[in-house]
Amino acid sequence: MRYLPFALALASCLAARAQAPITLNGELVGCADSTTVNVFEPIPGGLLNYFFAAEPNEAKVRGGRFRYELHHQPTGIILLTGKCTPQVWVYVEPGAQVEFSRKAAAGPAEYTFGGANAAANNLLANRQLLNNGPDDGRRIAALLAKAPTAPAVLRALEAELQKPLDQLNVAYAQHRITRTCRDYLRAETEQRLLAWAGGALIGHFSDSTRANLHLTMSRAETRRLAALLYARYNPAKLRYLVNTSRPSFDKAVLVQKGVLPGPTPSDHTWAQYVTQFEPVSSHFELNDYLPLPAQAMLVGDNLLYALAFNAMSPSDFVAVFADYVRKFPSSPYNATVSRYLRAEAARLAAAKPAAPLGPTSSVAPNTTFGFYAVGTKALTFGPAPGLDTVRTLGGLVRAQRPGRAVFVDLWASWCGPCIAEFEHEPALHKFLTDNNIDIIYIALDQPGFRDKWAALAAKYRLQGYHYLAPPALQKALGPTVPYIPRYMLFDKNGQRVEASAYRPSDGDKLYQQLRERLK
């Protein structure tokens, strides 16, 4: 009965506003007409998947503004992305009318919200709810190292957590956000704390030297901290099921490692599908360690990832999905996946068969290394000798752009921050052209994502060369490219002279760095 008030408040909110749709009205100063804004919303009853859209999810900018009406009535967080809308989270409730504006600025995006729960959305947009990416992660990891005992570390973490929670409580006390909004974002922020701390602990127990936490606690005391944290903010609690899914999986990792207590799974449904899910989920077998409600959510979410990235063959996917439906016949993901499969089958049935290669063709044409120029509608592909032997970025640069200095942009179609940087591409392209530097955009997408990769390169008018890195090269890049977006510079000899350049949004700092490296 502990969470009955939250459930009743949510039910009341849903009943009161069920008739009015959720709408977003945005002002994007300086954004050109026809620019696309993508809106990702959670499937009904499920999690927000950043890469799979169950419904058409684009809105066009007209006169510096756009309007979007959500397909369903979620209570929770949706995601906006686009060239003029660097990744921003928005909290919505049934019937909400959300307004916001973004100033055209060279630096980080500046959003100002109005309408329903504007105070909470300003906190989200300004990344004040433990959602500021690696900076928050480093700060939480530093707190783990400061105290010699688990209770002392827990107190420090809770003090850090209380800062954003106090802001939510003040906004609620001033009637600027609803109780439902406060409770939802409180749960979300608590789970983000657990995600940062749990991730650091997993790194420590996996390889304490590489984790570099510099803990003053003993190993036994560190285990005690993990137990205290996951008892205090247990992701299996009902109130956390619709929030970020990472802590549930992290807990399974710690149980599997013997850091946290937990039963060894008797059912190994998901262990048999590790290979199929490898492109989108490492250690997929750990889903067998999760409680059934969390399994239903996380495996269902991974099914959407697999669809978005075309991660496995249709026959493999059908087998996985059949096991999922047998195990979770009432899962909200079943209807979404089934609709997608029916639509895809209809699309394939209506598609014309591809024309076969001519009788003299013995080599498949290059479709992974192309060029985009202003005024064209798509990437152009031509012969790319030696492409099939490339094993390193330096090898790619030397083979395809010999004698040229090359700026490399490592990105992926699923990476919001990567796409946000494309807003600065025109200024970057002018600098590179003026300084006789080529650019290669290297996409770290799965091969089955080729059509969307090529379409996005043209959609964002990314002038220069484009390469869809094959799985073998992506695997080889793992140790040197732990995150994206990532930018590198190679000189005329194909030697890497900068392994982690500033971002295009850094403007003059990046340009000065490139000048110095090429002296």
pLDDT of residue 258: 94
pTM: 0.74
Share of the chain above pLDDT 70, in %: 92
Question: Which residues are CB-contacts of 510 (< 8 A; sequence separation ≥ 6)?
Answer: 428, 487, 501, 502, 503, 504
Side-chain-side CA neighbours of 207 within 13 Å: the count stands at: 3
Query: Which of 98-102, 430-434, 479-483 has the lowest average pLDDT?
Result: 479-483
241-245, 364-368, 442-446 — most confident range: 442-446
pLDDT at site 351: 58
Report pLDDT for 86.
76
What lies within 8 Å, CB to CB, of 467 at 6+ separation is: 368, 369, 396, 400, 440, 441, 442, 443
pLDDT for the residue 489: 95
Is 9's pLDDT higher than 70? no
Q: Which residue has the tokens 């919001």?
A: 416
Encode pLDDT of 441-471 as tens digits.
999 988 877 888 888 898 888 999 999 999 8
> What domains are defined for the chain?
4-125 (2.60.40), 131-243 (no CATH), 263-346 (no CATH), 369-517 (3.40.30.10)
Quick one: average pLDDT of 139-144? 93
Reported confidence tier of residue 383, pLDDT bands at 50, 70, 90? confident
- CA dihedral 109→114→120→124, nearest 10 degrees, is -10
Percent of the chain at pLDDT above 90?
55
Give CA–CA dist 298/280, Å, rounded.
12
CA–CA dist 247, 348 (Å, integer): 38
Taking alpha carbons only, the member of 137, 151, 146 closest to residue 192 is 137
